[in-house]
Amino acid sequence: MSLATEAARETIVPVALGSGYDIVIGRGVLATLGRRIAALRPGCAVAVVSDETVADQHLAPALHSLAEAGVRAQPVVVAPGEGSKSWRVFEQVCEALVAARVERNDLVVALGGGVVGDLAGFAAAVLRRGIDFVQVPTTLLAQVDSSVGGKTGINSAHGKNLIGAFHQPLLVLADTALLDTLPRRAFAAGYAEVAKYGLINDPGFFAWLERHHDDVFSGGDAREEAIAVSCRAKAAVVARDERETGERALLNLGHTFGHAFEAAAGFSDRLLHGEAVAIGMTLAFAFSHRLGLAPADDVARVKRHLEAVGLPTHPRARGNEVPDADRLMDLIAQDKKVKRGRLTFILARGIGRAFVAPDVDPASVREFLIETLAQP
């Protein structure tokens, strides 16, 4: 199948934020990057921020597409991994953009997974007091979650994503063919965010995933359908609540627990973000059941489905070392949803029935963690 034919199958999801932008989903759409940028910003130059792993596979075709459209491009390549979401690498990217003479009417292109998207987007948000950027997500997690909605940022020693800005992209170009090169572990990590949308408010989608997850993983038509459904779900939520003052917090299902486990693992490959979210969602449903909210059958379904696709559901899965409950509570206290020291969790009354629970009793969370960590 030619790239032109593949690109003709593209799905476009509009996002009603700022001046509005599109998420373009389809196989082969990376080849259209240059002409789309030339149409959006005639005469601009771009800096393409990527990491070493992605650059080896996808930077050349991206630069070729830009060159064909007459767009001058300068690559900026960083080390792969969560460690690049740091003050040190952020400074390096900003200085590289300045050295490349990126002007206010030029663009930054984030070519990579969530780390690159967050890092490049944050740099674009502050460079010359803000320039536009384009997201070209290369992982499933980035295509269905982090590239949409304008959250950008870096990590602090105290927690994940504590330093950043809301900065909406000009365009999101999600080429599903790029996912063919992902290791299964990385794809599964992204799938956790796909499952999340069903667990929040779409029980029909979760049931569909239970039936079709093999096709999503193998790259069949179900893959693009799952991505499109996920992007529509996130676009709808963030359009109603851009800066997470209410409903958007639901998108953090599993993240309060998950971010604590990520921080405990040193934001390393020992525990990928999506793996931490899978553990966090399992615990969120189990904690909801403990509080008399979620039925036991739904807790079991969540755990069973996540394990069926190869995701961990217990903090100590795969021999992962986890600190004690007191240390985890310290990390949870740094969560962005904490308000005046009070804990806010996303809990559930069942699959597809998540809700924001403010002022959760820390003592009950600590007791739950103690019991969970004691389980084999």
Write out the catalytic residue numbers. 129, 151, 193, 234, 244, 248, 252, 255, 259, 273
Q: How far apart are CA 37 and CA 348, in angstroms?
A: 42
Residue 19: CB atoms within 10 A of its CB come to: 8
Cβ proximity of 196 and 281 under 8 Å = yes
Cβ proximity of 47 and 100 under 8 Å = yes
Closest C-alpha to 281, from 373, 208, 196, 188 = 196
Q: What angle do CA 40, 2, 35 make, to 5 degrees?
A: 10
CA 322, 359, 338, 264: dihedral to nearest 10 degrees?
0
Q: Which residues pair with 14 in a beta bridge?
A: 22
List Cα–Cα distances, 82 to 270, 312, 330, 355, in angstroms: 11, 19, 21, 29
Cα-Cα-Cα-Cα dihedral sign, residues 306, 15, 69, 8: positive
Cβ proximity of 305 and 298 under 8 Å = no
Tokens standing for 68? 């064909």
Residue 318: CB atoms within 10 A of its CB come to: 9
List Cα–Cα distances, 84 to 1, 157, 187, 201, 289, in angstroms: 36, 13, 20, 33, 37
Closest C-alpha to 285, from 308, 253, 315, 263 = 253
Q: How far apart are CA 253 and CA 190, in angstroms?
A: 14
Q: Which residues pair with 110 in a beta bridge?
A: 49, 135
Residue 6: CB atoms within 10 A of its CB come to: 17
**CA 215, chain centre distance (Å):** 21
